[in-house]
Amino acid sequence: MKLHELAALVGTSVGEDASLEITGVASLQEARPGDVTFFGNPRYLAQLRTCRASVVIVPLDFQEEITPVVCRVENPSAAFAAVVAAFAPIDIVPPSGIHPSAVVDPTAIIGADVSVGPLCVIEAGAVIGQGTVIGSGCLIGGESRIGTGCRLYAGAIVRERCVLGDRVILQPGAVIGSCGFGYEFKEGRHVKIPQTGIVEIENDVEIGANTTVDRARFGRTVIGEGSKIDNLVQIAHNVQIASHTIICSQVGIAGSTRVGSYVTLAGQVGLAGHLEIGDKAIIGAQSGLSKNVPEGSMVIGAPAKPMKEWKQNNFYISQLGKLYERVKELEKLVGR
């Protein structure tokens, strides 16, 4: 890729040699001549100053004098993502058709241009939309419905009667529709409560590897349109997640909690059951929530508190050692 092609790709212009050859992408620390990289976080300024890349994508207000050619853009990370995609190898998509080792019930409805990989099982009454790719070893349960243009990677499971919209991505090992965790203690035993509902996943959702979404006790567990869920997340029965929410790795959401739109749940957040998380709320990493969170709030900690209060409390805690020493000195002065 020539420099002028790179500039056009990220929506900017350069005054330097437009014919400069760009041969790859790399991080600030690992970049070599011929590479393009990006700078978007001031904490990496030291790495930038020693960077050997040919081109660095930077924010519009960047003023540092550096050796590489500079491409100024509004969002360096997003621009670099476009460059990485341009250099990426072509995605390997299996050819359409059903592999001879797959087991497909004759009552299943398979759309045009669907790919069903080796050792898949598609049970009775399942419907798979046009252009969907079912990777090797997947299970599509009876009477489940999968929309058009979906991608299910190896070992993903969609259990009976669950519904996936269009362009849904399930990473390897994702399980949709496992039984919700519900028991009644009766006569000295934990007796299973039937989980008769389904999971409904709306359009353009991506669910990470080994993430589990439990079917509802009754009704639906819902993952809203455009939401993105990381690896190793547990979503319990009857949880309702609205549109375009981000859920990071190792989050656990207990039953019947409702999460609004454009919410961010950072890594290892735990939500108790039957909570309401308002739209655009941000929950910091390793937080534990036992109460509702209003719309637009930023909370962190266990138990979770407003971000400002949490920072203030942490500052107070950091001063306890000094306060202890001062108290000891004062006790000496008063003869205690």
pLDDT of residue 47: 95
Q: List CB contacts of 85: < 8 A, sequence separation 6 or more.
A: none
Q: What domain range is 32 assigned to?
A: 3-87
Task: Sort 201 into a burial class: Cβ within 10 Å, 0-12 / 13-18 / 19+.
Answer: buried
| Residue 253 is assigned to a structural domain of this protein | yes
pLDDT of residue 335: 80
Q: In the chain, which stretches have pLDDT less than 70?
A: 16
CA distances from 61 to 13, 40, 56, 208 (A): 15, 11, 14, 36
196 and 55, same structural domain?
A: no
Which residue, 43, 46, 21, is CA-closest to 34?
21
| Residue 41 is assigned to a structural domain of this protein | yes
The set of catalytic residues is: 237
Q: Tokens at residue 182, please?
A: 């519900």
- For β-strands 212-214 and 175-178, DSSP reports them as parallel
pLDDT of residue 147: 98
Which residue, 307, 308, 269, is CA-closest to 290?
269
Phi/psi at 134 (5° precision)? -105, 110
133 and 264, same structural domain?
A: yes
Q: What total number of domains does the chain contain? A: 2
User: Contact at 8 Å (CB) between 73 and 60?
Assistant: yes
| Residue 187 is assigned to a structural domain of this protein | yes
| Residue 314 is assigned to a structural domain of this protein | no
240 and 119, same structural domain?
A: yes
185 and 44, same structural domain?
A: no
218 and 285, same structural domain?
A: yes
| Residue 142 is assigned to a structural domain of this protein | yes
257 and 154, same structural domain?
A: yes
Chosen domain end from 87, 110, 144: 87
55 and 106, same structural domain?
A: no
pTM to 2 decimal places:
0.89
| Residue 119 is assigned to a structural domain of this protein | yes
- Write the CATH number for 61: 3.40.1390.10
Task: Sort 327 into a burial class: Cβ within 10 Å, 0-12 / 13-18 / 19+.
Answer: exposed
101-151 pLDDT, tens digit per residue, is 999 999 999 999 999 999 999 999 999 999 999 999 999 999 999 999 999
